[in-house]
A and B are shown apart, each in its own frame.
Chain A
């Protein structure tokens, strides 16, 4: 077996496959082709079936190559929570429009938000809102050019989750005990 190329050492390899197996997944080349011409395969990875100048390797390392890591999950979670809040605006619209229409329409909305399912949705909404807000603040910190060190990134990530959980608990404690 040839030595792993230097850049591959920084890629978190998944399962038993090598970085090359992952890079070749979905392409026509098979592992047996690797042994025959090591130099060309490493540099260009063009398979004989496809006359193309496209290098047969990922243009940038993609999801299937990495183990799921905490900060990577936080990045994905920021996008997912953003998309969830996007859909969640419909609940705000429903509440406001129902209030504008009149007592009857409003009672339907209140009925939903007051039900156990509605409360569950609102609880999730609260956490998602605070998670995205804390993630956004994290990004604003990065925008100032600070917080890029390994330790700092980890602290910011952990801190934003802890802050989001805390704020959610505080808001729901207020909602339940200030009744």
Chain B
């Protein structure tokens, strides 16, 4: 559908003419707002996370499990993971859209990005819940 710039160059259309009327996907505002909302949340959550990591340093398995299963720690970590999981996908989506110019590479890269973000979120959340519920 969309070819590289070189292939389209012989056309008598200007670059502006080529893109005019295609519009945007109309998802830009939602993307922008989600990026900011998660960013604000993370100012608080990352600060707490750094404190948790400091408390975890040098702990053996039993100690780490005990700390991570504390409800305040577990809930903070779950909120952080949820927020980061979205924030990182939105950020990487912007990077992919900036540097992958053809649909053949862009769509697989976007898919990988979303899969990666969701796998990271799911794995961390499952691990935390398992640690908390001790099963």
Chain A residues with CB under 8 Å of chain B are: 50-55, 59, 79, 82-83, 85-86, 89-90, 92-93, 96-97, 99-100, 102-103, 106-107, 110, 114, 126, 129, 133, 136-137, 139-140, 143, 171, 174-175, 178-179
C-alpha spacing A79/B14, complex, angstroms: 31
Proximity bits, B95-135, A CB within 8 Å = 1, else 0: 10000000000000000000010001001101110110000
C-alpha spacing A51/B91, complex, angstroms: 39
What total of A-B pairs shows CB separation below 8 Å?
93
C-alpha spacing A52/B92, complex, angstroms: 35
C-alpha spacing A89/B43, complex, angstroms: 17
Chain B residues with CB under 8 Å of chain A are: 9-15, 36, 39-40, 42-43, 46, 50, 54, 57-58, 60-62, 64-65, 68, 77, 84, 88, 91-92, 95, 116, 120, 123-124, 126-128, 130-131
Whether A97 contacts B57 by the Cβ 8 Å rule is no
Report whether over half of chain A's contact residues are helix, strand or loop; otherwise say mixed: helix
Sample of 6 further A-B pairs with CB below 8 A, known A86-B92, A90-B120: A50-B9, A83-B92, A85-B88, A96-B68, A97-B123, A103-B61
